[in-house]
Amino acid sequence: MNRMRLLRCARNDTFKSGFMLLEAILSVVIVSICLTFIAQSLLTNFRTGVRFQEMTRSLIVMENRLGLLYATNLSEEDFNPYPQPLDKPYDKFALSTRKDTINDHLKKVELQLNWPVDKPQGHLDVTTIIYSPDEN
């Protein structure tokens, strides 16, 4: 009986004394972990958005270039294996182009787009086979 009373008193004392330092630290840690996760997910969302924008622009650049290569029947003038910065509005991109002959009619074309020009962080590679009869 005395033991029970002693325990109850001890528990009541604990409640009256407020939170322990350990409890306070634990709750702060839990809250900060939750906030970190939320902040991280927002940041990831932002980064994904930026990457999507760059990807959209790079796809348009690639489509422009492939159309040009088809139209000029793979003119030598438009091939350069070293990254060349493009004209405005795509001046943040550098393009390198390569061509290999498969046979008299088929050419393997490799395009590589890097951005930004000074410190490339993103890239888009396209390899395709184009029907191109020899004109020479």
Partner 1 sequence: MKIKGFTLVELILGLAIAAIIGLCVYNMFWQAMKLDDKMRHVHENYMEVLMADQAFSHDLENAITLDFSASYPDSVIFDGQKTEFSFLTQTPKGIKRVRYYSGLLDQNGVTKTMIGRVTNPSNNMAKGPLPVEFLLRQESSLADWLNETTDETSTQIVAAGLKKESFNCLYAPFVKDLHTSGSKGIDYKDSWDSKGLPLAVSCNFILYDPKNPQEGLMFKRDIFLAPVGSYHNEQ
73: left (phi over 0), alpha (psi -120 to 50) or beta: left
- Binding window for partner 1 (CB under 8 A); candidates: 19-27, 61-69, 104-112, 113-121: 61-69
The reply on whether position 19 binds partner 1 by CB under 8 A is: no
Phi/psi at 73 (nearest 5 deg)? 55, 50
Burial of 112 (0-12, 13-18, 19+ CB in 10 A): middle
Which residue shows structure tokens 């790079």?
A: 58
Structure tokens at 134: 């020899």
Nearer to partner 1, 72 or 101 (CB): 72
Length reported for the chain:
136
Nearest CA to 80 out of 58, 105, 98, 66 is that of: 98
Binding mask 91-130 for partner 1 (x = CB under 8 A): ----------------------------------------
Please select the residue that binds partner 1; options are 7, 11, 20, 49, rule is CB under 8 A. 49
The reply on whether position 25 binds partner 1 by CB under 8 A is: no
Structure tokens at 2: 């005395």
- CB of 94 vs partner 1, minimal distance in Å: 16
Given the rule CB under 8 A, which residues bind partner 1? 13, 16-17, 35, 39, 42, 45-46, 49, 52-53, 56-57, 59-60, 63-64, 67-68, 70-78, 88-90, 131, 133, 135
